[in-house]
């Protein structure tokens, strides 16, 4: 397996709190997703060192319910997209979204143009 290093532009090195919430001291990164239909069912997620230079816990398969639990606890979760250089670039933060039928899923914390969860690699 190829080791991916993390590379974050300095402008994204500081993770702002969501909607005025508390500043999270725990940062997780999602590097890949598993979909059921068009909805995320599982992710590859790891804990990122606060320095943004390495993993505290390497990405592992994580069920959606566990990701939702982390978000409810106030942790920050971001998407991490592979670059052509073999590094990872930070994408948008994610939040819990509830679909009309009551199913929980993940969505970008801010609606902006750019990459989405479904643009991440599959596993």
CA distance 99 to 16: 26
Residue by residue, pLDDT tens for the chain (123 residues) are 334 556 554 334 444 444 444 444 689 999 999 999 888 999 999 999 888 888 999 999 999 999 999 999 999 999 999 999 988 999 999 999 998 998 899 998 887 777 888 899 999
- Closest listed residue to residue 73, CA positions, set 21, 117, 31: 21
């Amino acid at each position: 397996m190829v080791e991916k290093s993390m590379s974050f532009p300095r402008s994204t090195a500081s993770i702002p709190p969501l909607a005025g919430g508390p500043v999270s001291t725990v940062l997780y990164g999602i590097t890949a997703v598993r979909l059921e239909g068009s909805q995320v069912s599982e992710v590859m997620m790891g804990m990122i060192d606060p320095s943004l230079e390495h993993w505290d816990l390497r990405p592992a398969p994580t069920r959606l319910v566990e990701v939702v639990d982390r978000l409810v606890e106030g942790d920050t979760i971001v998407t991490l997209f592979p670059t052509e250089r073999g590094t990872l670039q930070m994408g948008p933060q994610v939040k819990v979204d509830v679909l009309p039928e009551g199913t929980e899923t993940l969505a970008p914390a801010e609606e902006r143009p750019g990459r989405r969860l479904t643009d991440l690699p599959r596993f």
